[in-house]
Amino acid sequence: MKTALANRMTPYLFLAPAGIVLVAALLYPIGYMIYASFLDWNPSQRIGEADWIGLRNYTNLLGDAAFRESFWVTIKFAAIVVTLEMVLGVGLALLLDRNLRGMSILRTLFILPMMIAPIVVGLMWRYMYHPTVGIFNRTLENIGLPTVPWLSDGGWAFTSIIIADVWQWTPFIFILSLAALQSLPQSAIEASRIDGASAWQTILYVKLPLMMPVLIVTALLRLIDAFKVLEVILVLTNGGPGLSTEILSLRIARTASEFRELGVAAAMSNFLLILLLVLTVAMYLYGKAAELRAARLRAAAEEAA
110 counts as binding another protein under rule CB under 8 A: yes
131 counts as binding another protein under rule CB under 8 A: no
Tell me the CA distances in angstroms from 53 to 43, 50, 172, 290, one per residue in order. Answer: 17, 9, 44, 45
Q: Is 54 helix (H, G, I), strand (E, B) or coil?
A: coil
Strands 39-40 and 51-52 come out as antiparallel
Cα separation of 290 and 102, whole Å?
A: 35
DSSP codes of every residue in 134-193 = SHHHHHHHHTTPPP--TTTSHHHHHHHHHHHHHHHHHHHHHHHHHHHHHTS-HHHHHHHH
Task: CB nearer to another protein: give 162 or 221.
Answer: 221
Task: CB nearer to another protein: give 101 or 200.
Answer: 101
Q: What is the maximum alpha-carbon separation in the chain? A: 87
Look at the alpha carbons of 117, 131, 245, 282 in this order and tell me if their dihedral is positive or negative: negative
**Residue 255 neighbours by CB under 8 Å, 6+ apart:** 261, 264, 265, 268
Cα separation of 99 and 26, whole Å?
A: 45
301 counts as binding another protein under rule CB under 8 A: no
72 counts as binding another protein under rule CB under 8 A: no
CB of 303 to another protein, least distance (A): 26
116 counts as binding another protein under rule CB under 8 A: yes
Range in contact with another protein (rule: CB under 8 A) among 59-67, 127-135, 149-157, 200-208:
127-135
277 counts as binding another protein under rule CB under 8 A: yes
Task: CB nearer to another protein: give 149 or 287.
Answer: 287
Footprint on residues 156-195 left by another protein (CB under 8 A): 167, 171-172, 175-176, 179-180, 183
204 counts as binding another protein under rule CB under 8 A: no
Look at the alpha carbons of 94, 100, 104, 110 in this order and tell me if their dihedral is positive or negative: negative
145 counts as binding another protein under rule CB under 8 A: no
N residues, the chain: 305
Tell me the CA distances in angstroms from 58 to 1, 116, 271, 272, 280, one per residue in order. Answer: 58, 36, 9, 12, 23
250 counts as binding another protein under rule CB under 8 A: yes
CB of 304 to another protein, least distance (A): 28
Closest C-alpha to 86, from 220, 184, 179, 213: 220
115 counts as binding another protein under rule CB under 8 A: yes
Task: CB nearer to another protein: give 33 or 80.
Answer: 33
Q: Is 39 helix (H, G, I), strand (E, B) or coil?
A: strand
Task: CB nearer to another protein: give 41 or 206.
Answer: 41
Which of residues 84, 197, 210, 221 is near another protein by CB under 8 A?
Answer: 221
Which of residues 55, 66, 79, 135 is near another protein by CB under 8 A?
Answer: 135
14 counts as binding another protein under rule CB under 8 A: yes
Number of residues that bind another protein (CB under 8 A): 99
CB of 244 to another protein, least distance (A): 19
Range in contact with another protein (rule: CB under 8 A) among 64-72, 151-159, 196-204, 265-273:
265-273
99 counts as binding another protein under rule CB under 8 A: yes
Which of residues 57, 70, 160, 218 is near another protein by CB under 8 A?
Answer: 218
Closest C-alpha to 117, from 225, 231, 227, 221: 231
